[in-house]
A = this chain, B = another copy of it.
Amino acid sequence: MLEGFLQQYLRLYRPLISSLNELLGKYNLSYSLWQVIYYIKHHGPSTLVEIAKRYSVEKPTITRRVSCLEDLQLVEKIESRDRREKLMQLTPKGEELYAACRKEISNLEREILEKLSENELQSFFETLSKIRQQLAEKEGKQK
């Protein structure tokens, strides 16, 4: 019964990420850029290290993503006491784009999940989160 769990889980990844990238592509974004916008929107002005930690990627990855978003004028740096760090916030244009994409992503989610009951969804969420915890513990042990 357990066997094949990972297969089942991973099989969904490619179709989901391509749906998202197709959607976000219309705004010159990709899911990896969206993650940064999403993080800043939900945590307020953020440093690159914060964002990197959240998504378990290295700093250079976030440097790249952020500089790309700067080029698109969707985020901007604001002053902070610590002059090493780069505190980023959304520009008005960034806020607009967030709202537009948020709407479309929610529609996509609704479409994909429409056949599922409230209970099913609830329990799916919980399972995901338990697995994440378990994985985190496992990682923790290895160090």
Interface size for A (C-beta < 8 A) is 53
Interface string of A98-131 (1 = CB under 8 A from B): 0000000110111111111010111111111111
A122 — which chain B residues lie within 8 A by C-beta? 1
Q: Is the interface of A mostly helix, strand, loop or mixed?
A: helix
Stretch at the interface among A5-13, A45-53, A83-91: A5-13
How far apart sit A125 and B15, CA to CA, in the bound complex (Å)?
17
Each complex incorporates copies of this chain amounting to 2
Q: Interface residues, chain A, CB within 8 Å of chain B?
A: 1-3, 5-17, 19-20, 31, 38, 55-57, 105-106, 108-116, 118, 120-132, 134-136, 138-139
> What are 27 A-B residue pairs whose CB atoms fall within 8 Å in the complex?
A1-B118, A1-B121, A1-B122, A2-B109, A2-B121, A5-B121, A5-B125, A6-B16, A6-B105, A6-B108, A8-B128, A9-B128, A10-B13, A13-B13, A14-B55, A14-B57, A15-B132, A15-B136, A16-B135, A112-B131, A112-B138, A113-B131, A114-B134, A116-B130, A116-B131, A120-B123, A120-B126
